[in-house]
Amino acid sequence: MAGRDLASVAAEAAVCTRCELASGRTQVVFGVGSARADLMFIGEAPGRDEDLQGEPFVGRSGKLLDRLMLEELGHDRSGVYITNTTKCRPPGNRDPLPDELAACRPWLESQLEIIDPKVIVTLGNFATRLILNTREGITKMRGREHSWNGRVVVPTFHPSAALRSGGGQVLAEMRADFVRAKLAVRRAAAESVLATAR
Ligand code: SF4
70-97 burial, b at 16+ Cβ within 10 Å, e below that, comes to eebbeeebeebbbbbbbbbbbeeeeebe
In the β-sheet with 81-84, what is the strand arrangement from edge to edge?
32-33, 81-84, 39-43, 119-123, 151-156, 146-148
Q: Residue 28: CB within 6 Å of ligand 1? A: yes
Domains of the chain: 6-193 (3.40.470.10)
Question: Looking at this protein, which amino acid is placed at residue 26?
Answer: T
Atom of ligand 1 nearest to the CA of 17: 5
Q: Residue 21: CB within 6 Å of ligand 1? A: yes
CB of 25 closer than 8 Å to CB of 90: no
Q: Which of 9, 12, 15, 17 has most ligand 1 atoms within 8 Å of CB, for mutation?
A: 17
The pLDDT assigned to 1 comes to: 44
pLDDT tens for the chain, 198 residues: list them.
Answer: 446 899 999 999 999 999 999 999 999 999 999 999 999 999 999 999 999 999 999 999 999 999 999 999 998 999 999 999 999 999 998 999 999 999 999 999 999 999 999 999 999 999 999 999 999 999 999 999 999 999 999 999 999 999 998 769 999 999 999 999 999 999 998 888 888 877
Q: How far is ligand 1, taken at its centre, from the CA of residue 110, in Å?
A: 14
Q: Which of 87, 93, 99, 110 has most ligand 1 atoms within 8 Å of CB, for mutation?
A: 87
